[in-house]
Structure 1
Amino acid sequence: MKTRVDGGSGIIEELDSGQTKTMETGADDDGSDIKKELDNGKTNIMETGEVDEGSGIREGLGSGQTKIMKTRAVDGGSSIIEELDSGQTKTLETGDDDGSDIKKELDNGKTNIMETGEVDEGSGIREGLGSGQTKIMKTRVYGGSGIMEEIYSRQTKIKETGDDDGSDIKKELDNGKTNIMETGVFSEERPWSKPEISEKLKDLLACFKVEFSEDPDPFRESFVRHIIQDDMRRKLETSVQSLSKKIVLTKNISTKRHDLPTVEACVFEIDVVYDGDQFCATEKDASSNEFFNVNEDNFTRVILIKGNSLPVVDAKLIVYKKYEHVINKQNIILQHEYEEFDDVAKFIAYQMISLYCTFVESVITAFTMHLPKMISEYPVESLTVGKIEQICLRVFERIEDKDVLSMDSNRDWRRSLAAAILTEMRKREEVVANASLINSICQRTVNDLNCILSELEKFQTSVHPSDQNKQIEEWLKREVVRDRSVLKDHPSILKYITGYRDSVNKKQVVKVFLKCEDKESEMIFKKSCDASKHLQFEFVNVERSKDKKKEVKQIRLRERKAPAVDSSTRKQLKLIIQEHRKKIYALFSNVVGIRIGKARQVGDLIQEEPCIVLYCLDKCLIPFGEKPLPESIAGWPCDIREEFFRFGRCPTNCPAQSQSLPVPGCSIGIKSDSSSGSAGFLYESREPNNELGDGFLTAAHVAVKDLKKLYPNTSFTMANLSPDDNIIDHRSPPKIQGRYYRVGRVVEALFGQREKKDLDFAVVKIEKSRNGEKEILTFAREDELILGEDIVTKTGITTGTTYGYLIEDSTSLKMEVSGVHFDGCNSYEIENIDDDDPFFLEGDSGSGVYVIKNGSQIKPLGIAYGYSESTTAVCNIREIVDELDLQIVRYF
């Protein structure tokens, strides 16, 4: 049996007849209660006392006997006394400020010993569990840990989870049933690490040293080693060097504010979320008063901003405006979770170096001014060696050193220094001394201290944090539009970006993307912008910019001919894109898509090699407050290509060609809404009692009125949206007076991520039954797709039946609709066979895309939802269709 005390957690294990059951409970700072009754192979969990005061665990261990185990937690350590069987008592002890060691003796004549590592970096528990078998349980601590345990049929299954901002402990317990118990929130006393700093800064911090100059002349003794003693030097070096490995963050400011200097930063977490109308900053903690009311200038405070729906700079601006009154007055760093923590590390290092520089300056002043001055005030005949010692101590007592030395050692250097000075004086003058003699004795020390001070100040300059006030000035340049209602009133304005066209000359540009030629919108947009800013406007009609994309077209043609990326490399690149995409979108607002590529532009040449394609709005424009686009990601080269992606919903009615039952490609839309899209696959329920019935599939952004309630991972039914509010009409052709015919209602939908894929998917149950000969279609499997070669087809209301190339199965796109930022992760990407005959246009959203096999056989692939000039995005719906127990059908 083992108990681990670190903010309050206990792991209790029963080892019975060679079988193992593992249970864990967690609690917050005030302790945990665990009672355990183990009787006849059954497990009951009851209560224990408080960790702070000690805890008792009462166990009934068969035959009505009661054994008592008590734990006592003192100063981060614990001793565990266990009574195990046959009246024998075995005592185990663990405890460590920075980790834990757990030793266990488990009866039946055998002893198993387990040790756990350091809590800061994670811990591992290795257990020998009978019959020579070993089970391993590991927990990872980053401000909290979650352990999910499944215990089925008296077997132990152990899983691992990690969390940056809190702790969740989940248990699945026995007999085929699952019970989940969650405990507590982030323990404020437990710090966590954020090691994400640049390699350049890591190298700089890791190499930091305080070095003394060596002089071969024995008669020119320096007292610098008596001043900056080894413990002081090691403390500074170790503290600064530790920042190269990790930055320790904590929420508990009350216990850290008086422990200066510190390598920790106190954080106050803020989530930037969309509340239905706009993005806003919400506090995750209730300790804002304590955080903002600290007055210590040397304590590092960080507002840690979280949220992946907005670019980093925009999110930081929202937080800045909310806390502007305190941020401007205090040294508070605005840090986004996706940014490197360079400024936080620099700020901590800078403050530590500043304290030591102040200390060294004080010592230099004492040697050059205070000590000679005090000695000069005494008559020469009264300056005995004893008097000199008293004067030295009085001068050195004035030097403030509490920020650079521990309380136990802050007087040692003064006495050591005074004694060293007297020893040196005795070599020159046995009875009396004067100011000139003191100056002569101390000059070498002053020179050495000045050398050390110079090196410290040089290093301090290299770790000087960025000027946040200047950064904020750059962020505010993004807000060029004074009246944002202009964007709603003029739908031809699709998007705009602001930044520097020339990073050297700092030419400030506003680039506006228009759906069509609209001079009136251009004029009104200019008038709505801040006239005080010197801006250059660029208006781009996205429908007529094809001539400017010759470079991209050449790369596309080269990619078609390039050899396929091998499966191992594709797998690696997929993982990289999956891991980095949200961070890339957040850090670079210019980027609108990411995928695997087979060729890239290198100077004037096109080079065939695996790469990561970054689709951007303008590869020569750097948005205000951001860095240039990356040349590589995780060691893989990037190819930057300009594209503009948007959803394919038609803002106006695209009438159908008949008024019969909806067929794939016909026009559909939400009742009382002028926008429209296309009907996709026809479906039937596999089981007659399925509430989804029969109908067709389409895109959620076409069929659901309130998309905000679905994003990022809530289904239509989970959001409690009413089917009666999402009636779907079938639009008739103009010759039948443009009538709308009700054909069904939305019964399920998803608009966001599910199982590592982003879905734009809606199920529309039709009003009337459909009869006729039909065929059940099976989805195309990923292992039978040939990227770059497979031909696909779709039928939409705008373009009709078209064909294209399937070029990618893991494309990620960033688009916005109805105020929601959609991340189309792991989408299929279809390329036009001929740009003059596009595969997909506005109004085609929701159409079903099929892959053609063996010349004529068609297999469903997914739902088309977005497009650019040359490509179309299709979401993979195979898993969700199976999950809903539906099947795709085609009628003849």
Structure 2
Amino acid sequence: MQLTATPFICSVLLQYGADANIEIPFKSFEKILFVAESNIQIKDLKNATAIRLATLFRHKDIVKILLKDSNELEISKCLRFLERRRTRYDIISVISTFIKGKLEEKYEKLNLIVIYCYVAGNRRHCRFLAYSRNVVQTIEGRIYDIKYLIQNPCKINVKEILADLQNRNIEESDRLTVEAAIQHHGERLFKNHSNLNVISGSAIKSMKSGSILKRKPCVVLYCSSKGYIPFDEDPFPKTLYVGKKDVDVDVREGYFALCPAGITMSEWNNPLRIGGSIGKKGGLSGTLGPFVELSDGSLGFITCAHVFQNDNPGRNVEVVQPSYSSFAGMDITDEDRKCGFLLHKVFNCNQEVDAALVKVLKRHPERALFTIGSTEELLETGFEVNDKPLFDDGSIKETIDPEDVKKIEIKFGCKTGLTRGAFRLRGCSVRVAEATTFSSPNVVMKNQYEIQSIGPTSFFQPGDSGSAVFLVDDTNRLHCIE
């Protein structure tokens, strides 16, 4: 006897009223089924329905057709059966995609991104995990008898972050080892773990969700939801081997996002100043970076490319200061806002570049002045009222040497103003994660400098994209970090 079925036959049967949920006595087919697949047990087949049979024998096209006519209990039984046989990713994908669609339909207004995952340490304990920026508290429920969680992807574990902020200094030898581990394993980690957002380092290893802290240098893997692993992936490694050492791994919740702003405060500057708000009509805001001399002798300035993510360079892309989403501090016309046009942009993750070049047409500066909001900002960052920072000499710092790690860095951004920080790590890797940005392409930026904030103000916030970061030497001279 041979059992045959095709998607066409199933479609015709359903079209003419066949019941997909009828149970079929299976005793007479025991031998055939054992020959077909020896690890299928009779308890899995007793009184089986059409979708259970199609699932058992991996007829994914038939499973796809039967899903919409099968009841919730049968679909959940199929998925539970597959959880015990994890090699059947093709069938798992068909059923989980169907349930994801139902979950997205139920919460249509939340714009969910749904993944099917298992709980770390228990590969049979599965969940549907959904992300939405439109939720504050986690939403829990069940769909097809499987638990689901809806979370905001930008949530973090405050205990771990606060502990790390207080103990961020890594000894030079340990820091070099951590950086080498990131350099050696980073590409493979991003390839193998879709929920990985940032690879960094720390002097502190956290355990039990931050309730236990141990001073030990480690590589930190920041993911969207700690403890949940996409179904077809392995858990994060516990150690990374580099040279002749095993470096510990600490998994935490965290995310990375490009930071153009929708609303920011910045006055109209005449002449233009480093740190002012810039943008385009109908677009996002960024920060005016350092001035540069162009090949034709004219003046330009650097900012970030992702503020102009959908634009082609040319005179048709007019750049304004301040941006249209910014408060100008006075009544100004559209013509007054214009300051230049987009000349060139590069967003290349392989070259670690996110930069745009704007040619200045109006309000040319004679000196490289900064937008400094108050005397307090100057004093907090180590300057004096009669010794304001300038960048007239155009000094560039191409590489960060070990002795530079102990020096102060400052930044002028249109959102946070003048802030200061200290180097934490050279060579951290970040992914503009799809779960956190809801955009594509899903790119990895390698070999990034990581700077920690010093003082009451965050070193960087949304709206500061394009800001220049300067290393301050012992004489308060500024060196722009490349």
Specify the TM-score bucket, using the shorter chain as the normaliser: 0.5 to 0.7
**Which structure 2 residues correspond to residues 9-24 of structure 1 after superposition, within 5 A?**
none
Alpha-carbon distance in structure 2 between the residues aligned to 1:482 and 1:788: 49
Residue aligning to 1:642? 253
TM-superposed deviation, 1:837: 2.2
TM-superposed deviation, 1:724: 2.8
Secondary structure of the corresponding residue to residue 827 of structure 1: strand
Residue aligning to 1:838? 458
Alpha-carbon distance in structure 2 between the residues aligned to 1:795 and 1:766: 19
Q: Which amino acid aligns with 1:837?
A: T
Secondary structure of the corresponding residue to residue 220 of structure 2: strand
2:117 is the counterpart of 1:499: yes
Alpha-carbon distance in structure 2 between the residues aligned to 1:474 and 1:745: 51
Residue aligning to 1:658? 268
RMSD: 4.0
Alpha-carbon distance in structure 2 between the residues aligned to 1:825 and 1:727: 31
Q: Of residues 289, 306, 320 in structure 2, which corresponds to 1:680?
A: 289
Q: Quick one: structure 1 residues 479 and 658, their matched pair in 2 at CA, closer, same or farther if it must change by over 3 Å?
A: same
Q: Of residues 319, 322, 325 in structure 2, which corresponds to 1:731?
A: 322
Q: Of residues 339, 348, 358 in structure 2, which corresponds to 1:752?
A: 348
Deviations 1:234-265 (A, max 9, x none): xxxxxxxxxxxxxxxxxxxxxxxxxxxxxxxx
2:133 is the counterpart of 1:514: yes
Q: Quick one: structure 1 residues 638 and 550, their matched pair in 2 at CA, closer, same or farther if it must change by over 3 Å?
A: same
Secondary structure of the corresponding residue to residue 810 of structure 1: strand
Alpha-carbon distance in structure 2 between the residues aligned to 1:773 and 1:832: 28
**Which structure 2 residues correspond to residues 351-370 of structure 1 after superposition, within 5 A?**
none
Secondary structure of the corresponding residue to residue 186 of structure 2: helix
Instruction: State whether residues 677 and 846 of structure 1, in contact with CA within 8 Å, keep that contact through their aligned partners in structure 2.
Output: yes
TM-superposed deviation, 1:497: 5.5
**Which structure 2 residues correspond to residues 440-479 of structure 1 after superposition, within 5 A?**
466-469=87-90, 472=93, 476=97, 479=100
Alpha-carbon distance in structure 2 between the residues aligned to 1:599 and 1:737: 51
Secondary structure of the corresponding residue to residue 146 of structure 2: coil
Alpha-carbon distance in structure 1 between the residues aligned to 2:284 and 2:405: 33
Instruction: State whether residues 495 and 514 of structure 1, in contact with CA within 8 Å, keep that contact through their aligned partners in structure 2.
Output: no
Instruction: State whether residues 496 and 513 of structure 1, in contact with CA within 8 Å, keep that contact through their aligned partners in structure 2.
Output: no
TM-score (norm 1): 0.37
Q: Which amino acid aligns with 2:131?
A: V
Residue aligning to 2:20? none
Residue aligning to 1:550? 159
**Which structure 2 residues correspond to residues 694-843 of structure 1 after superposition, within 5 A?**
694-706=299-311, 721-731=312-322, 733-737=327-331, 739-740=333-334, 741-754=337-350, 757-768=351-362, 770-773=364-367, 775-784=392-401, 786=403, 789-816=406-433, 818-834=439-455, 837-843=457-463
Q: Of residues 150, 173, 184 in structure 2, which corresponds to 1:565?
A: 173
Alpha-carbon distance in structure 1 between the residues aligned to 2:113 and 2:473: 39
Q: Which amino acid aligns with 1:805?
A: A
Alpha-carbon distance in structure 1 between the residues aligned to 2:104 and 2:153: 22
Instruction: State whether residues 304 and 356 of structure 2, in contact with CA within 8 Å, keep that contact through their aligned partners in structure 1.
Output: yes
TM-superposed deviation, 1:590: 1.9
Residue aligning to 1:669? 279
Q: Quick one: structure 1 residues 731 and 797, their matched pair in 2 at CA, closer, same or farther if it must change by over 3 Å?
A: same
**Which structure 2 residues correspond to residues 567-646 of structure 1 after superposition, within 5 A?**
570=176, 573-601=178-206, 606-634=213-241, 635-646=246-257
Indicate the larger mover: 729-738 or 837-846: 729-738
Instruction: State whether residues 670 and 705 of structure 1, in contact with CA within 8 Å, keep that contact through their aligned partners in structure 2.
Output: no
Deviations 1:702-721 (A, max 9, x none): 13424xxxxxxxxxxxxxx3
TM-superposed deviation, 1:762: 0.7
Residue aligning to 2:149? 537
Alpha-carbon distance in structure 2 between the residues aligned to 1:494 and 1:779: 44
Alpha-carbon distance in structure 1 between the residues aligned to 2:394 and 2:102: 50
Q: Which amino acid aligns with 1:508?
A: R
Q: Which amino acid aligns with 1:820?
A: P
Alpha-carbon distance in structure 1 between the residues aligned to 2:273 and 2:397: 21
Instruction: State whether residues 743 and 768 of structure 1, in contact with CA within 8 Å, keep that contact through their aligned partners in structure 2.
Output: yes
Secondary structure of the corresponding residue to residue 166 of structure 2: helix
Deviations 1:157-194 (A, max 9, x none): xxxxxxxxxxxxxxxxxxxxxxxxxxxxxxxxxxxxxx
TM-score (norm 2): 0.64
Q: Quick one: structure 1 residues 481 and 767, their matched pair in 2 at CA, closer, same or farther if it must change by over 3 Å?
A: farther
Residue aligning to 2:469? 849
Secondary structure of the corresponding residue to residue 283 of structure 2: coil
- Which structure is larger by alpha-carbon Rg, 1 or 2? 1
TM-superposed deviation, 1:592: 0.5
**Which structure 2 residues correspond to residues 149-298 of structure 1 after superposition, within 5 A?**
none
Secondary structure of the corresponding residue to residue 264 of structure 2: coil
Gaps of 5+ in 1: 1-322, 329-463, 707-720, 862-877, 879-892
Alpha-carbon distance in structure 2 between the residues aligned to 1:494 and 1:682: 42
Deviations 1:332-381 (A, max 9, x none): xxxxxxxxxxxxxxxxxxxxxxxxxxxxxxxxxxxxxxxxxxxxxxxxxx
TM-superposed deviation, 1:737: 4.4
TM-superposed deviation, 1:594: 1.0
Q: Quick one: structure 1 residues 495 and 824, their matched pair in 2 at CA, closer, same or farther if it must change by over 3 Å?
A: farther
Instruction: State whether residues 654 and 677 of structure 1, in contact with CA within 8 Å, keep that contact through their aligned partners in structure 2.
Output: no
TM-superposed deviation, 1:833: 2.4
Alpha-carbon distance in structure 2 between the residues aligned to 1:514 and 1:583: 28
Q: Which amino acid aligns with 1:598?
A: A
Q: Which amino acid aligns with 1:625?
A: D
TM-superposed deviation, 1:745: 1.5
TM-superposed deviation, 1:596: 3.8
Alpha-carbon distance in structure 2 between the residues aligned to 1:618 and 1:501: 11
Instruction: State whether residues 267 and 329 of structure 2, in contact with CA within 8 Å, keep that contact through their aligned partners in structure 1.
Output: no
Q: Quick one: structure 1 residues 742 and 807, their matched pair in 2 at CA, closer, same or farther if it must change by over 3 Å?
A: same
Q: Quick one: structure 1 residues 793 and 465, their matched pair in 2 at CA, closer, same or farther if it must change by over 3 Å?
A: closer
Instruction: State whether residues 494 and 515 of structure 1, in contact with CA within 8 Å, keep that contact through their aligned partners in structure 2.
Output: no
Gaps of 5+ in 2: 1-58, 65-84, 369-391
Q: Quick one: structure 1 residues 326 and 575, their matched pair in 2 at CA, closer, same or farther if it must change by over 3 Å?
A: farther
Secondary structure of the corresponding residue to residue 821 of structure 1: coil
Alpha-carbon distance in structure 1 between the residues aligned to 2:102 and 2:413: 36
Over the matched positions of the two proteins, sequence identity in percent amounts to 21
Alpha-carbon distance in structure 2 between the residues aligned to 1:512 and 1:789: 39
Alpha-carbon distance in structure 1 between the residues aligned to 2:213 and 2:415: 35
Residue aligning to 2:380? none
Alpha-carbon distance in structure 2 between the residues aligned to 1:858 and 1:773: 14
Q: Quick one: structure 1 residues 810 and 513, their matched pair in 2 at CA, closer, same or farther if it must change by over 3 Å?
A: farther
Instruction: State whether residues 501 and 509 of structure 1, in contact with CA within 8 Å, keep that contact through their aligned partners in structure 2.
Output: no
Instruction: State whether residues 219 and 249 of structure 2, in contact with CA within 8 Å, keep that contact through their aligned partners in structure 1.
Output: yes
Larger relative contact order (CA 8 Å, sep ≥ 6): 2
